Structure 1
């Protein structure tokens, strides 16, 4: 990637990240407005005053959507970060701590991946009492496996590379080999995997909340909004589901774009593209 394209990609990355940050801030500001009811204005279609319309209780759907997206992004950021750190640690341990550790972690990854993902997430969330705690624990326990496998494979490949073996034969300590020769190649994989975990976590949080196993109904979460809006679609209140659903999809696409741009900016090989 030449210098001009890298600057362009970096600018787009900053703009996308700023937009997501603004959603979080707007969601905080709209938290109280999202809970206000006014039956005088109930079931109003989208207008200049209410861009996303109002629901059957007269609540502003724009405020509820913003508050729900803000909560989903914050939960996604927290759970994805912890999951990525777990994946990095387990993947690295599996690759450098010998065959026994590799076999155990590989067995654990295969076991977790062998269980239907959404089913495992629902079971863990339900066992932990649902709510925010159940969702957080469920996502933490079910979103680290694929990235751990990627990190493990990358570390094993780096161990067999010529420059790492040459450094080891020259007496370079393992700490220096890891920090100087391995980390520059692991960071792009880790950061890309971390960012791509965000939309995965957000979608699964919304999914189990939609099914009734996630956040409580009093929370203005996207899953709650979509679940409640289903019964009103046949009455013509299409805006109750369309705007929150489209907003959720746009946030997921934005995170995917940020992950792609981050990989291109951090990957040393992209300099030669």
Structure 2
């Protein structure tokens, strides 16, 4: 297969996934008010042309609630993934460039955080900060940086032995200047790929913590809230209350996974032959 055509196809898939996620985010923002409107004369309606995802026990349109919940999850995912990726970059570079003692302390911290299950750590941090939006964002952001930090640390350990880095040190460049001018440009592909791949983890953990009652408040149309509330109605045959929001969440996570994998291929020319 022609490599340029393969790269062009990969770029098209990345753009399509990004456009789809952007469309869901914008549609959800525009649907926030509609997701809160109640109409008890249309409650518990099965999927129909007027309400493709049906309505809930308060007559609220499930399509609007699902879009609003996905939009909120995507925005939280972007925020928390960005914070986690920046923390991973700073600590990963610091561990590999600031000496053995710093490396030992940060490596111990990475092992400590990785030794605690993500969902439990997110719940503990969220509870400590009073739950809600702030608690969820802090919990997810402070628990998802470890794998990327370890990866970046390994890359820096290899890069710092390169001849041009050794020459820069002998010329009197400070560790900060070496990291800024010679290490960070080479870490950009791994950083961007790791940033994208953090999104699905962040979204799923935010929804899981909210589902368990340790995240976003019940008055917000979040996916975790929607799925948690729907559990009480599954035994009465209201299957649409959980099916469509659950499928939408899985689809969103899958889009982020595709976006991250295809972006990795674009940033690594050698992988395009795979």
Question: What range is the shorter-chain TM-score in?
Answer: over 0.9
Alpha-carbon shift at residue 218 of structure 1 (Å):
0.4
Rounded Cα–Cα distance in structure 2 between residues aligned with 1:23 and 1:6: 26
Q: Are 2:234 and 1:233 equivalent residues in the alignment? A: yes
Give 3-state SS (helix, strand or coil) of 1:269's partner: helix
Alignment partner, residue 61 of structure 2: 60
Rounded Cα–Cα distance in structure 1 between residues aligned with 2:98 and 2:169: 19
> What RMSD over aligned residues (CA atoms) do the two structures have, in Å?
1.9
Alignment partner, residue 147 of structure 2: 146
Alignment partner, residue 258 of structure 1: 259
Rounded Cα–Cα distance in structure 1 between residues aligned with 2:51 and 2:15: 30
Alpha-carbon shift at residue 267 of structure 1 (Å):
1.9
Alpha-carbon shift at residue 117 of structure 1 (Å):
1.8
TM-score by length of 2: 0.93
Alignment partner, residue 94 of structure 1: 95
Alpha-carbon shift at residue 183 of structure 1 (Å):
3.5
Rounded Cα–Cα distance in structure 1 between residues aligned with 2:244 and 2:182: 47
TM-score by length of 1: 0.94
Q: Are the equivalent residues in 2 in contact too, given 1:125–1:135 (CA < 8 A)?
A: yes
Rounded Cα–Cα distance in structure 1 between residues aligned with 2:266 and 2:52: 37
Post-superposition Cα deviations, 1:135-170, rounded to whole Å, max 9, x if no partner, equal: 0111111111111001001110122345544x4488
Alignment partner, residue 73 of structure 2: 72
Rounded Cα–Cα distance in structure 1 between residues aligned with 2:172 and 2:235: 69
Alignment partner, residue 123 of structure 1: 124
Post-superposition Cα deviations, 1:87-128, rounded to whole Å, max 9, x if no partner, equal: 000000000010011001001111111122211111110110
Give 3-state SS (helix, strand or coil) of 1:36's partner: coil
Alpha-carbon shift at residue 57 of structure 1 (Å):
0.7
Q: Are the equivalent residues in 1 in contact too, given 2:93–2:179 (CA < 8 A)?
A: no
Rounded Cα–Cα distance in structure 2 between residues aligned with 1:123 and 1:183: 33
Post-superposition Cα deviations, 1:233-270, rounded to whole Å, max 9, x if no partner, equal: 11111110000000000000100110011111112534
Q: Are the equivalent residues in 2 in contact too, given 1:185–1:268 (CA < 8 A)?
A: no
Alignment partner, residue 85 of structure 1: 86
Post-superposition Cα deviations, 1:64-87, rounded to whole Å, max 9, x if no partner, equal: 000000000000001100110010
Note closer, same or farther for the CA distance 1:184–1:265 as it changes in structure 2 (3 Å cut): farther
Q: Are the equivalent residues in 2 in contact too, given 1:187–1:266 (CA < 8 A)?
A: no
Give 3-state SS (helix, strand or coil) of 2:265's partner: helix
Rounded Cα–Cα distance in structure 2 between residues aligned with 1:86 and 1:55: 41
Alpha-carbon shift at residue 47 of structure 1 (Å):
1.0
Post-superposition Cα deviations, 1:198-254, rounded to whole Å, max 9, x if no partner, equal: 111100000000000000000000000000001101111111000000000000010
Alpha-carbon shift at residue 56 of structure 1 (Å):
0.8
Any stretches of 5+ residues in structure 2 without a counterpart? none
Rounded Cα–Cα distance in structure 2 between residues aligned with 1:199 and 1:121: 15
Any stretches of 5+ residues in structure 1 without a counterpart? none
Rounded Cα–Cα distance in structure 2 between residues aligned with 1:189 and 1:55: 43
